[in-house]
Every structure is written in structure tokens, then in C-alpha cells.
Amino acid sequence: MTPTATSHDTVHTPLTAERVLAGAIELADRIGIEQFTIRRLATELDVKPMTIYHHVPSKDAIIDGIVDVVFGQIDLPPDELEWSAAIRRRCVSARSVLARHPWAPPLMESRTTPGPATLRHHDAVLGCFRRGGLSLQLTAHAYAIIDSYLYGFALQEANLPFHGDEEIAELAEAILESFPVEAFPHLAEFTTQHVLRPGYSFGHSFEFGLDVLLAGIAAAQQSNP
Amino acid sequence: MTPTATSHDTVHTPLTAERVLAGAIELADRIGIEQFTIRRLATELDVKPMTIYHHVPSKDAIIDGIVDVVFGQIDLPPDELEWSAAIRRRCVSARSVLARHPWAPPLMESRTTPGPATLRHHDAVLGCFRRGGLSLQLTAHAYAIIDSYLYGFALQEANLPFHGDEEIAELAEAILESFPVEAFPHLAEFTTQHVLRPGYSFGHSFEFGLDVLLAGIAAAQQSNP
DNA sequence: GCCAGTCATCGTACTAAGTACGACAACGAA
DNA sequence: TTCGTTGTCGTACTTAGTACGATGACTGGC
């Protein structure tokens, strides 16, 4: 580290809050939120740790910020579609966004200071239900159950400890070997006869459940006009 | 701190792994998982930090352990009930358990080394679906969507930043004041016309959504025998 | 072209937390 | 009594968040 800049270094454009957040997301995606530290982020951004604090006030503010960025990545329900189709689109988009950021699901609903993209997102979803003719009461139920399902599915999907057919087989065998088959017969059956069969994918259930919920909301709307 | 034991101290029964886990749950319930540290737990248990490591190998093992304890607190689906009623009971029980332990929802599905109560729980739920006559395929969908909904709801409920009518009003006003009403009209309407009305409770939506999902699964069972 | 002020960057250091290592004391069995 | 066993703890190392203040580069006004 000579005091004069090493000549081969490309001149860095000054760090900004946006670059900090973008780097934070990239790092969290790669190593997980547990391993995510200011020091590692600094290395990633090619600066020293304290430099980061000139652009964001704290690690917590970074978490707030990246959650808002993720909200911004989710497609809003398109105005031109009928409400249930629009919400469906938004949910499918959200699931794919949350799958790209496995650290996000537990955090999306835990921030007490929502950012602008978060507010815009909630406003758009509420507006979609209302334009579809749902009462405030039913809108509340609908939003609560749809998002519960969405975040819960994303949470489970993000925590699947495998990402391919080989890994799933390894893990399943490890768990199965940890207890006698007679102790948990249904778990053993389910694992060997279904999960380990080719073609199994947890994600296949997503649209099934989503459509059940949307149909249930639509039915409630009919029966209570 | 004289080296000889102060005479008025009641003699401590020796610490055990169970007492460590029980204390950990109590502490996490009280101060949250973020604030939960080995050092604080030691103070709580009236021992020094390193004593804890004679009964559990690491903080991570404590997390594994308390998650398993929480699984053990959830009622299993009763054998004598029809499958959907039995699953319903189990879900209602789970929701109330998870509400008592707000730190738990994000962790329940993220452990790679499930404990005995966790395995027993999953085995019982799978067995309930199978005894009800659901195919393995439908059982997989059913379990995935029911648990997504359950954990998602618990996650949202655990993260509600208010716990009474006054707090909710405070927070809502703080959020509403942070932006012009015209910017997010639906959010403003929803908050002032519904959330702030007496009698609103997020939790009221739980059984509505749960019943929609159970009915959807039953319908799928009929149409594909 | 010079200078003072501004601003991004960073070095140092403090505090909190997880936990490895080994000392020590209390207690039971030989 | 003695020795081993077992639970308890003191010390200390490492990693992490971040407060404080210094430093160097860059800028607008002269």
C-alpha cells in the first residue's frame, strides 16, 4: 500500500448508497445473510469498512434498503388485467424474485420503516383488489392470506437445503439413516416413494395453492356482494 | 465475589441441556432472537457463559434445540378425526404456539438437522393425509401449501409491530405522515377506513384462508380419486 | 494559478459476542 | 484418604459493528 495510488487501479467512481445496496444484495445472495458483514461487503466493494458508513448510517439501514430494493423488483399487478389474474401475475413474479434472494423472505415483513418501493407495492396490490370490487373487509382477508401463502412458500423454498436431484438424494438418505424406518414410516414412505422419484419439485405446488386461494376469494366475493 | 459460596444462595441443581433450552426459549420470547446471546442466557440461568458449553456444543445447537422444543409444543393431528378436521386442529395449535414464540417462524424450516420432535411432527401430518386417502402426489401438494400458509401467516403475525389498539394507531399515523396521502391513496384508505377501525385484527383472517385451502385440497381429492 | 473549505476515504480503537483452553473445586468410589 | 470424574469458571483470542478524528483529493472563488 504505497500512499500514492497504484497506477494500474482503475479510478473508482465514488461510492454511493445505491452501489452499497447493490453490492449488499449480490453478497447476501452469494453467501447468505448470516455471513453478510460490513467488513466483507467492504472487501467486495473494494473499500475499507468505514467508508461504507459515509453512505449508509448502519448495517440495519442496509437491510432496510435491500428489502426495499427487492420489493421494487417485484412486478406490480397490471392494471389492465382482471383482479385475480393481476394478483396471480404479481405473486408469480414475487416468488421468482424471492427465490433469487433466499435471505429475503423472513425480512420482507419485519421492517418497521418501509421504504418507498415497499409502500408503492402495497398500494398497488390494495388498489387492484379494490378496483376488482372487493370490500375493504374482503380485501384485508385476501391480502393477508395471499401474502401469508406467498411468503411462507418463499420461505420454505429458500430454505430447501438442496438445489438439484443429487443433493436432494444425499440429504434424504442422511436423514433416513438417522432413524429406524419403523419409527417414522410415513416420512420414510414419502421420502423414498415420492421425493426421491425423478421429477419431484417442491415448486410445483405453488400455483396449485395460489389458485385455490384466488378461487376462494372470488367465491367469497360472489356470496357477499 | 468471595471465593467461598455466599451462604444465602440456594444450592443450584446442576444445569442440564433441558434447562439451557428452556431458559433460551424464555429469553428469546422476552427479548427476541436478535438480542439473544450466550452471555445473556448465562446471566438468566445464573451461571457464567462457559458453563453453558458443557451442556450444549454451540449457540447453533441451542437454536436447533429450541426449534425442536417448539415443534414438540404443537398438537399432532388427532387420529380419531377426519383428515381435514385433524389438520385444521394441528394448524390452529401451531399458529398459537408460533404466536407465543415470535422468533420461531423463520427458523422452523431452516434447520438442516431436524430433531426428534420435528421428525415425529412431520410423520404424523403425513400419516394423517395418507390415512385420509390422499395420494402421495396430493399429499405433497397439500403439505406444501398448508405449511406455506401456516408459516407465512405466523411470520406476518410475529412481525406485526404492534400489539394493541393504541400501538397500531400510533404506528399507522407515523407511516401515514411519512408520505402525502395522494401518493398512496389505497394504502391510506385501507389504513384509515379499515385497520384503524375498532375490532380490526390481522388474526381474523387465519381460519378463513385455512378453510379455503382445506376445501381446495378436498376438491382435488374428489376430482382425482 | 492559489487557497480554503468540503467531502469521501480510511486508520485506530472500543465494545460486544462466540467460544477454545485449561484450571479448579466438589463429590463419590475404592 | 486419595483419585478420578464432572460441572463450573477465568482468561483470552477472534470476528463484528461502528464512533472518532485524521488525511488527502477536489472545487469554487479570487
What's the pLDDT at B188?
Answer: 95
Average pLDDT over residues A104-133: 96
In angstroms, what CA-CA distances link A160 with A67, A163, B42, B63, B209? 21, 7, 33, 18, 24
A144 contacts in chain B (CB < 8 Å) = 153, 156, 202, 205, 209
Q: Which nucleotides of C are covered by protein (CB under 7 A)?
A: 8-12, 16-22, 26
Contact A206, A153 (CB under 8 A): yes
Distance CA A55, CA A29 (A): 21
User: What's the CA angle centered on B46, arms B41 and B47, to 5 degrees?
Assistant: 80
Contact B23, B43 (CB under 8 A): no
What's the pLDDT at B74?
Answer: 98
Average pLDDT over residues A143-168: 91
What's the pLDDT at B225?
Answer: 64
Q: Which of A175, A212, A223 to mutate to test the interface with B (most CBs of B within 10 A)?
A: A212
Average pLDDT over residues B191-214: 95
Please give, chain by chain, protein residues whose CB is below 7 Å from any atom of strand C.
Answer: A 1, 12, 14-15, 47-51, 53-55; B 4-5, 35-40, 49-50, 53, 57-60
What's the pLDDT at B12?
Answer: 62
Backbone angles phi, psi at B172, to 5 degrees: -60, -45
Has residue A176 got a pLDDT over 90? no
SS percent in chain B: helix, strand, coil, step 5: 70, 0, 30
Work out the pLDDT band at A12, boundaries 50, 70, 90.
low
What's the pLDDT at A5?
Answer: 34
In angstroms, what CA-CA distances link A52 with A14, A49, A55, A200? 11, 6, 6, 44
User: What's the CA angle centered on B23, arms B20 and B29, to 5 degrees?
Assistant: 140
What's the pLDDT at B164?
Answer: 75
Distance CA A109, CA B152 (A): 10
Has residue B217 got a pLDDT over 90? yes
Domain A57-161+202-223 in CATH 1.10.3720.10? The answer is no
Please give, chain by chain, protein residues whose CB is below 7 Å from any atom of strand D.
Answer: A 3-5, 35-40, 49-50, 53, 57-60; B 1, 12, 14-15, 47-51, 53-55
Q: What CATH class does B78-225 carry?
A: mainly alpha
3-state secondary structure of A136: helix
Has residue B155 got a pLDDT over 60? yes
Average pLDDT over residues A145-150: 98
CA-nearest of B108, B214, B217, B151 to A153 is B151
Work out the pLDDT band at B2, boundaries 50, 70, 90.
very low
Average model confidence (pLDDT) across chain A: 92
What's the pLDDT at A39?
Answer: 98
Q: Which of A113-117, A131-135, B165-169 has the lowest mean pLDDT?
A: B165-169
Cβ distance of B136 and A193 shorter than 8 Å: yes
Q: How far is B47 from chain A (nearest CA, A)?
A: 28
Q: Where are the alpha helices (DSSP H) in A32-82?
A: 38-45, 49-52, 59-73
Cβ distance of A184 and B119 shorter than 8 Å: yes
Higher pLDDT, A167 or B144: B144
Average pLDDT over residues B197-209: 94
Q: How far is B14 from chain A (nearest CA, A)?
A: 30
Nearest-10 Cα torsion for B37, B42, B43, B47? -170
Work out the pLDDT band at A93, boundaries 50, 70, 90.
very high
Higher pLDDT, A123 or B180: A123
Contacts of A156 (CB under 8 A, 6+ apart): A202, B109, B144, B147, B148, B151
Distance CA B44, CA B65 (A): 18
Distance CA B168, CA B122 (A): 36
CA-nearest of A172, A92, A152, A90 to B143 is A152
Could you give the ipTM of this predicted complex? 0.92
Q: What is the pLDDT of residues B87-106, one digit of tens each?
A: 999 999 999 999 999 999 99
Distance CA A188, CA B40 (A): 40
**In chain B, which residues fall in CATH 1.10.357.10?**
78-225
Distance CA A6, CA B143 (A): 58
The pLDDT > 70 percentage for chain A reads 94
For cell 401456516, the residue is B150
Backbone angles phi, psi at A115, to 5 degrees: -85, 180
**In chain B, which residues fall in CATH 1.10.10.60?**
1-56
Domain B1-56 in CATH 1.10.10.60? The answer is yes
B145 contacts in chain A (CB < 8 Å) = 149, 153, 205, 208-209, 212
Q: What is the pLDDT of residues A15-59, one digit of tens each?
A: 999 999 999 999 999 999 999 999 999 999 999 999 999 999 999
Q: Which of B152, B171, B187 sits opposite A151 (nearest CB)?
A: B152
User: Element (H or E) spanning A110, and its range?
Assistant: none
For cell 376430482, the residue is B223
Q: How far is A50 from chain B (nearest CA, A)?
A: 23
What's the pLDDT at A225?
Answer: 64
